[in-house]
Amino acid sequence: MMIVMKEGATEAQIAAVVKRVEAVGAHAHISQGELVTVIGAIGDREHVANLGLEGAPGVDHLVPILKPYKLASLQYRRDERTIVEVDGRKIGGDHFATIAGPCTVESREVMLDSARAVKEAGAQLLRGGAYKPRTSPYSFQGLGEAGLRLLAEAREETGLPIVTELMDVRDLEPVLEVADVVQLGARSMQNYTLLTEVGRAGKPVLLKRGLSATLEELLMAAEYVLKEGNPNVMLCERGIRTYEPSYRFTLDLMAVPVLRELTHLPIVVDPSHAAGRRSLVEPLSLAAAAAGADGVIVEVHPCPEEAVCDGPQALRAEQFAEYLRKLEAAAELAGKQLEVV
């Protein structure tokens, strides 16, 4: 339930509403607009419905939020879109950003070469996993804390903010020390403990859609983070599992305009993991940008043939600048600007 206060409602009236909301065991989420204050009463549906705040001092009107996700809904923000800002780089609204880098941090040389290449070409953020979710337990699992140190070195040299995955709540502290954006991978989308902890930590989050998750499940996962008071959540479409075996996953581009109708949160597309092969990455990226995505996260490697993982889908570092130029044009079609810092 959204409780829209009257223009000029007093602090005491707002506090009285908050008290009533909390008295029924719900959480009061206050957003202070330019003219009016809106209080989200988030909690058990029945209790919230029986608050009886119509006509209470300072209350203008009540708006029920019918979706199961509340803070994530576009309605909750009254159509105003969230813009996530990471060290001066904006994602969301009219701002398009590119996150690029290798799949995993595999060595100092590869990490620094990748970072220099994507910076030089004009990417806004640097990606690289130090903890890798692998299907086989015998595959390379990531360099862990040593990988995080290399990411820190890459940021130090290039100034690019770091996007890196957190898989296990036990690694929260070291990851938070280095990550500017904490990535929650497709396989962790419904790890509710992780979502809650990342919500409490307050760092921007890139939440990837589970391999078989519906958009509502993705938004409910985002709600876990938002509920803890962390508003900086970006959603990521990275391909879902379908019956089609010709590519790694099916990039669900329809998710982009549909999510825009449902939520105010920025929408990022990962063409690399959906495609599984390099030749598909550019057309999918251009389509995503033209469809209104707020950014892409894309794998780039200085020598994909030697990559420890996901080499076949990595763009070559030398083709990346040209790719970004085309991406910029596609983002412009959707009224967005690629920020060059």
Q: How far is the CB of 256 from ligand PEP (least distance, A)?
A: 16
Options 149, 273, 278, 336; binder of ligand PEP; rule CB under 6 A: 273
Extended strands (E) in the chain:
2-5, 27-32, 37-42, 59-63, 84-86, 89-91, 95-101, 125-127, 162-165, 181-184, 205-208, 233-237, 267-269, 295-301, 315-316, 337-338
Number of chain residues interacting with ligand PEP (CB under 6 A): 11
Separation of alpha carbons 184 and 224, rounded Å: 13
Q: How far is the CB of 6 from Mn ion (least distance, A)?
A: 51
171-210 positions binding ligand PEP, by CB under 6 A = 185-187, 208
- Out of Mn ion, ligand PEP, none, what residue 29 binds, judged by CB under 5 to 8 A for its kind, is none
- Out of Mn ion, ligand PEP, none, what residue 108 binds, judged by CB under 5 to 8 A for its kind, is none
Q: How far is the CB of 208 from ligand PEP (least distance, A)?
A: 4
Separation of alpha carbons 269 and 235, rounded Å: 8
Q: How far is the CB of 321 from ligand PEP (least distance, A)?
A: 22
Alpha-carbon distance values, 97 to 92, 115, 123, 281, 289 (Å): 8, 16, 7, 16, 10
Q: How far is the CB of 86 from ligand PEP (least distance, A)?
A: 17
* Identity of the residue, 135 or 246, whose beta carbon is nearer to Mn ion in the bound complex: 135
- Out of Mn ion, ligand PEP, none, what residue 95 binds, judged by CB under 5 to 8 A for its kind, is none
Long-range CB contact pairs, 305-312, < 8 A, 24+: 307/102, 307/103, 307/106, 307/110, 308/103, 308/104, 308/106, 308/140, 309/103, 309/104, 309/106, 309/132, 309/134, 309/139, 309/140, 310/103, 310/104, 310/272, 310/273, 312/276, 312/277, 312/278
Separation of alpha carbons 258 and 214, rounded Å: 12
Options 133, 159, 257, 283; binder of ligand PEP; rule CB under 6 A: 133
* Identity of the residue, 71 or 148, whose beta carbon is nearer to ligand PEP in the bound complex: 148
* Identity of the residue, 38 or 315, whose beta carbon is nearer to Mn ion in the bound complex: 315
Radius of gyration of the chain (CA): 21
Please name the amino acid found at residue 196: T
What are φ and ψ of residue 33, in 5° steps? -85, 180
Closest residue by beta carbon to ligand PEP:
185
Q: How far is the CB of 318 from ligand PEP (least distance, A)?
A: 22
* Identity of the residue, 58 or 185, whose beta carbon is nearer to ligand PEP in the bound complex: 185
Separation of alpha carbons 331 and 82, rounded Å: 18
* Identity of the residue, 121 or 167, whose beta carbon is nearer to ligand PEP in the bound complex: 167
* Identity of the residue, 2 or 175, whose beta carbon is nearer to ligand PEP in the bound complex: 175
Closest residue by beta carbon to Mn ion:
103
* Identity of the residue, 19 or 241, whose beta carbon is nearer to ligand PEP in the bound complex: 241
Q: How far is the CB of 165 from ligand PEP (least distance, A)?
A: 6
- CB of 195 within 8 A of CB of 178? no
Q: Is 238 in the site for ligand PEP (CB under 6 A)?
A: yes
- Out of Mn ion, ligand PEP, none, what residue 185 binds, judged by CB under 5 to 8 A for its kind, is ligand PEP
- CB of 130 within 8 A of CB of 102? no
* Identity of the residue, 106 or 310, whose beta carbon is nearer to Mn ion in the bound complex: 310
91-110 positions binding ligand PEP, by CB under 6 A = 103
DSSP state of 133: -
Give me the residues that bind Mn ion (CB under 5 A), please: 103, 310
- CB of 105 within 8 A of CB of 128? yes
Binding site for ligand PEP (CB under 6 A): 103, 129, 133, 165, 185-187, 208, 238, 270, 273
